[in-house]
Amino acid sequence: PVPVEVLDADGRPLRVDGRGVLSAPPARIRSGEGRAVGVVAWAGPWPVDERWWDPLRHRRRVRLQLVADDGVARLLVLEAGSWRVAATYD
Protein backbone atom coordinates (compact mmCIF):
# COMPACT_ATOMS: atom_id res chain seq x y z
CA PRO A 1 0.00 0.00 0.00
CA VAL A 2 1.10 3.52 -0.90
CA PRO A 3 1.27 6.07 1.96
CA VAL A 4 -0.75 9.28 1.48
CA GLU A 5 -1.95 12.25 3.48
CA VAL A 6 -5.69 12.89 3.57
CA LEU A 7 -6.47 16.56 4.17
CA ASP A 8 -9.56 18.59 4.96
CA ALA A 9 -10.50 21.87 3.22
CA ASP A 10 -8.20 23.82 5.56
CA GLY A 11 -5.22 21.57 4.81
CA ARG A 12 -5.33 19.78 8.16
CA PRO A 13 -4.75 16.01 8.33
CA LEU A 14 -7.99 14.04 8.45
CA ARG A 15 -8.53 12.09 11.67
CA VAL A 16 -11.04 9.48 12.76
CA ASP A 17 -12.20 9.44 16.37
CA GLY A 18 -12.85 6.39 18.55
CA ARG A 19 -16.46 6.25 17.36
CA GLY A 20 -15.44 6.13 13.70
CA VAL A 21 -16.35 9.75 12.89
CA LEU A 22 -14.21 11.84 10.53
CA SER A 23 -12.79 15.12 11.84
CA ALA A 24 -13.99 16.82 8.61
CA PRO A 25 -14.94 15.88 5.06
CA PRO A 26 -11.92 14.82 2.98
CA ALA A 27 -10.91 17.52 0.49
CA ARG A 28 -7.51 16.42 -0.89
CA ILE A 29 -5.09 13.54 -0.84
CA ARG A 30 -1.38 14.08 -1.20
CA SER A 31 1.18 11.45 -2.15
CA GLY A 32 4.66 11.14 -0.72
CA GLU A 33 6.00 13.03 -3.75
CA GLY A 34 3.84 16.01 -2.79
CA ARG A 35 1.35 15.62 -5.66
CA ALA A 36 -2.16 16.47 -4.48
CA VAL A 37 -5.55 15.71 -6.02
CA GLY A 38 -8.93 17.04 -4.97
CA VAL A 39 -11.70 14.81 -3.65
CA VAL A 40 -14.98 15.04 -5.62
CA ALA A 41 -16.92 12.21 -3.89
CA TRP A 42 -16.39 9.95 -0.91
CA ALA A 43 -18.06 7.26 1.17
CA GLY A 44 -17.37 5.88 4.62
CA PRO A 45 -15.62 5.68 6.93
CA TRP A 46 -15.98 2.02 7.79
CA PRO A 47 -14.21 1.02 11.01
CA VAL A 48 -12.92 -2.55 11.16
CA ASP A 49 -12.04 -4.16 14.48
CA GLU A 50 -10.34 -7.44 13.56
CA ARG A 51 -9.55 -10.27 15.96
CA TRP A 52 -10.67 -8.25 18.99
CA TRP A 53 -10.62 -11.46 21.03
CA ASP A 54 -6.89 -12.07 20.41
CA PRO A 55 -4.60 -9.49 22.07
CA LEU A 56 -1.61 -10.59 19.98
CA ARG A 57 -3.35 -10.33 16.59
CA HIS A 58 -5.89 -7.53 17.23
CA ARG A 59 -6.03 -4.84 14.49
CA ARG A 60 -8.09 -1.68 14.19
CA ARG A 61 -8.41 -0.04 10.80
CA VAL A 62 -10.70 2.39 9.04
CA ARG A 63 -11.56 2.20 5.34
CA LEU A 64 -12.61 5.17 3.23
CA GLN A 65 -13.52 5.26 -0.46
CA LEU A 66 -13.08 8.39 -2.52
CA VAL A 67 -13.07 9.62 -6.09
CA ALA A 68 -10.50 12.28 -6.93
CA ASP A 69 -10.57 14.99 -9.58
CA ASP A 70 -8.09 12.93 -11.62
CA GLY A 71 -10.93 10.45 -12.26
CA VAL A 72 -9.43 7.68 -10.13
CA ALA A 73 -11.37 6.04 -7.30
CA ARG A 74 -9.31 4.90 -4.34
CA LEU A 75 -9.81 2.70 -1.31
CA LEU A 76 -7.87 4.17 1.59
CA VAL A 77 -7.04 2.47 4.86
CA LEU A 78 -6.10 4.21 8.11
CA GLU A 79 -4.08 2.11 10.53
CA ALA A 80 -1.84 3.24 13.40
CA GLY A 81 -2.38 6.89 12.44
CA SER A 82 -1.28 6.51 8.80
CA TRP A 83 -3.39 6.56 5.64
CA ARG A 84 -2.48 4.26 2.74
CA VAL A 85 -3.98 3.58 -0.69
CA ALA A 86 -5.06 -0.07 -0.62
CA ALA A 87 -6.62 -0.13 -4.11
CA THR A 88 -7.33 2.10 -7.12
CA TYR A 89 -10.17 1.87 -9.63
CA ASP A 90 -10.25 3.73 -12.95
pTM of the model: 0.89
Average pLDDT over residues 2-15: 96
The per-residue pLDDT for range 9-50, each reduced to its tens digit, is: 999 999 999 899 999 999 999 998 888 999 999 999 999 988
Give the whole-angstrom CA distance, residue 84 versus residue 61: 11
- For the chain, how many residues are written? 90
